[in-house]
Structure 1
Amino acid sequence: MTRSWGAAEDPAEPAPVLHPSVATVLMVACSVLGGLGMLWGLRQGPDGVLRYADIAAGVLCSLALVWRSRAPIVVAAVAVVGAAFFASAGVANVFALFSVARRRRLPVALALGVLNVAAGLVLYVLYPSNTSLGITAAVNIAVSAAAVAWGALVQSHQQLLASLRERAERAEAEQRLRADQIRNAERARIAREMHDVVAHRVSLVALHAGGLQVRPDLPTEEVSSVAGLIRQCAQDALDELRGVIGILRTEDLSPLPQPRLEDIPDLVAESVHAGQPVRLTMSAAADDPPGALGRDAYRIVQEALTNAHKHAPGAPTTVTVEGAPGKGLQVTVRNELAPGGEPLRLEGAGAGLLGLTERVSLSGGTFTHGRTADGDFLVRAELRWPR
């Protein structure tokens, strides 16, 4: 993998204002020109061959800045040695010290800053006539401190930006995770709703088919009518199943139409039409009960009738729905276990009743089911109905 000159070592660093290659070229050029300016500004300096050697050393130290991102300490060490003996390497030394302070820990930068000051004192010993020792020491200390402070400030700023960016990315990832969890929970809820609906439709199909099996002597007109009912129930189940599969495959989980309290008579009528003798008593004193209350009551009656179709086909069944705002809503479904009734062979794991228990519990109500003392099967739920 290729890498541009002066490319940042840390990939988490923010994008620089200048391209790394452009920044490196400008830094090397400034280092060379600045070093030449320092050399020409000396009252006492190298002459003859030593002057050309000084210029060459300054250029080499400046070119070493190309590797300041990959090996900042090595580049700074080379620049310190060069600045101790060659005046034209002084600017490269400052840039190298800044690079160390920007990319390494502060103690390392401070140690190299001390060496930078020492290099300035060595150059003073070689050419003492340019200025006093005090001024030389003060200038070198000030320049080294400024380079270290500037580099450390840039490093802290970059670390802060990286931390904020990481925090934002983490928050975005957590938000996506929460959205996925909400979407999955909604899919599970829709699947549970459709399980109740499809199970009820299939039980009606089985009930109609069982009636044909036990009464092979039915007139042709009745057989045709029952066959039409079977076909219609199967078609309804397929349509509802196809609809929920389509919803679960999309990202936009639009809410399904929810059943209401006033839909319970139609639900009971379907069972009666299928041959299950069901008697309904409704005395819910409200014209517009809460949507969740009507949905829960409908699902309870639906699951109880489905179980009656499966386990007690043809047995007399009573459905009672009564209540009022502030008093709660009581839903009771009782079916007899007829001695001659043969249960339909529909496999199940009791998930429907467990789901109802969870549904009613989440709404703050109570749910019970089981055999009564007289041998009937009773499903009873008490739902909260606020005023």
Structure 2
Amino acid sequence: MTETRRPASLLIDVGLAVAFALGLAVTAVMIANSWGPGHAVPDGLFGVIVCGLALLRRRDPVRAAVAGLGVAAVAVGVSFVADLPQEPGPITGLALAVLVGSAVRTRPARPATVVAGAGLLVIAASMLTSLDNQHGRTAVTVLDTLCWLAAVAVGLALRRADARARAAIEEVRRAERLELARELHDAVTHHVAGIVVQAQAAQLVGARQPAKLPQMLAGIELAGADALAAMRQVVGLLRDTDDAAPASPGPERLTDLIARFGRHGPPVRLRLPDGEPGWPPEVTATVHRIVQEALTNVSRHAAHAGSVTVTVDEDPDAVRVEVADDAPPAPAGAAHRAGYGLVGMRERVRALGGALRVGPRDGPGWSVRATLPLPGRTPR
């Protein structure tokens, strides 16, 4: 199955077809005037075949190039045996350049090198068989050599340009995949972790205090609804950003986040800067994600903590976020607070040119500290 050609490629092929036709006609007239009409027929025949292969090169560049070079090699032998004008002629040489350049651009290194080398061999054979021919030998040889050099140079240049374009596309796709992974993790893991913790607590408390079970089940239901809402937000972002929920929650959303966490975790104290911060959306979203991930880690690894403190400060040059708990040191062999969430936090902070520190506090507990520079302000 052949791919549909783009309009630009079609225009190029039409231009080549016109150039080939005019060139073959002019060459035929020149050979007829200098060698005689009968001598123009072989050159025209070989030229038409190679030019046709050049116009069909997109189906299989290597096979087209090999076939074209084979025809050119036969033309060299025939011109030598029959004492005809030197081959490959100017237009045939141009068509061979198109074939060689296309193969060098699009094919793997080994077949591309073979095709380029075969083109050079055809030129060398043409030079050797025309040593006794004084009818334009130098001009035709030089023209064929220049066409070959141009084909290799242009093919390599376009090959590098294509490689850079593919690398740029792959980098964009990789960034999109990472962003999607972060959004899914940040939006869903926090809620699912709360559901798991509340379900575990319901199993323990339900047997001892059945009266509290409906309240706990209601909390699980609410956490599930929050998880569904978060998933809808991510799906909305993927489908159409105009229909998506806000992707950059403001500081006031931190209150809702902490309220949800407080239903199944230790009490949280929130400290926010006075007034309306007016941060860029990317900074606001990153602050929210850092607090969300840090609280999720507390639920997973430090549910026995007595309290958690969330502090958000704004300096003239940066926003500083800290989430600290007072959980006692974990026993040996306990799970370390690491995973994709920490990776996502580091990626978000690094993307803004900030710094992240995660680890034990001087006293009991664990802390997450992030510094996010504000755009347009020079860090001190």
User: TM (normalized to structure 2)?
Assistant: 0.62
Residue number in structure 2 paired with 1:183: 173
Count of residues paired in the alignment: 305
Q: Residue 78 of structure 1: CA displacement?
A: 1.6
Partner of 1:139: none
Residue 155 of structure 1 and its aligned partner are, at CA, apart by 5.2
8 Å contact from structure 1 (residues 332, 380) kept in 2: yes
Map 1:192-207; keep pairs closer than 5 Å.
192-207=182-197
Task: Give the distance between the partners of 1:15 and 1:159, measured in 2 at CA.
Answer: 19
Distance 1:167-1:368 versus aligned 2 partners, 3 A rule: closer
| Distance across 1 between alignment mates of 2:255 and 2:179 | 25
Q: What amino acid is aligned across from residue 187 of structure 1 in structure 2?
A: R
Q: Which whole-Å CA distance do the structure 2 matches of 1:158 and 1:261 have between them?
A: 65
Moved more, 168-177 or 233-242: 233-242
Letter in 1 for 2:361: T
Structure of greater Rg:
1
Q: How does 1:128-167 map to 2 (within 5 A)?
A: 144-145=135-136, 148-150=138-140, 152-153=142-143, 156-157=146-147, 159-160=149-150, 163-164=153-154, 166-167=156-157
Report the counterpart of residue 322 of structure 2 in structure 1.
332
Alignment of 1:271-286 (within 5 A): 271-286=261-276
1:338–1:174 Cα change, 3 Å: closer
The match for 1:378 is 367
- Given the alignment of the two structures, is residue 94 of structure 1 paired with residue 85 of structure 2, yes or no? yes
Match of 1:350? 339
| Identity, % of aligned positions | 26
C-alpha separation between the residues in 1 aligned to 2:324 and 2:88?
A: 88
Match for 1:72: what amino acid?
Answer: A
- 1:75 matched to 2:72: no
Deviations 1:305-339 (A, max 9, x none): 11221223263323333423425333222223379
Give the TM-score of the pair, scaled to structure 1: 0.61
Structure-2 separation of matches of 1:363 and 1:280: 24
Cα 1:284–1:197 shift into 2, 3 Å: farther
Q: Show structure 1 runs of 5+ residues with no match.
A: 1-11, 38-57, 81-92, 118-143
The alpha carbon displacement at 1:270 in A equals 0.9
Aligned mates of 2:42, 2:362 — CA distance in 1 = 98
User: Unpaired segments of 5 or more residues in structure 2?
Assistant: 1-12, 47-70, 94-118
- Residue in 2 aligned with 1:290? 280
Match of residue 120 from structure 1: none
**Aligned partner letter, 1:115:** D
- Give the whole-Å Cα distance in 1 for the aligned partners of 2:286 and 2:231: 20
Give the 3-state SS of the residue equivalent to 1:71 in structure 2. Answer: helix
| Cα deviations by residue, 1:21-73 (Å, 9 ceiling, x for unpaired) | x959x95x997897678xxxxxxxxxxxxxxxxxxxx78x9669856724233
Among candidates 126, 132, 138, match of residue 115 of structure 1? 132
- 8 Å contact 1:97–1:113 — kept in the other structure? no
Structure 1: distance between partners of 2:193 and 2:91: 78
Superposed CA offset, 1:274-311 (max 9, x none): 35321212125543112222222212211221122122
> Structure 1 pair 284/351, CA: closer, same or farther in 2 (3 Å)?
farther
User: Does the 8 Å contact 1:284/1:322 carry over to 2?
Assistant: no
Two-structure CA RMSD over aligned residues (Å): 4.5
Aligned-residue offset at 1:201: 0.7
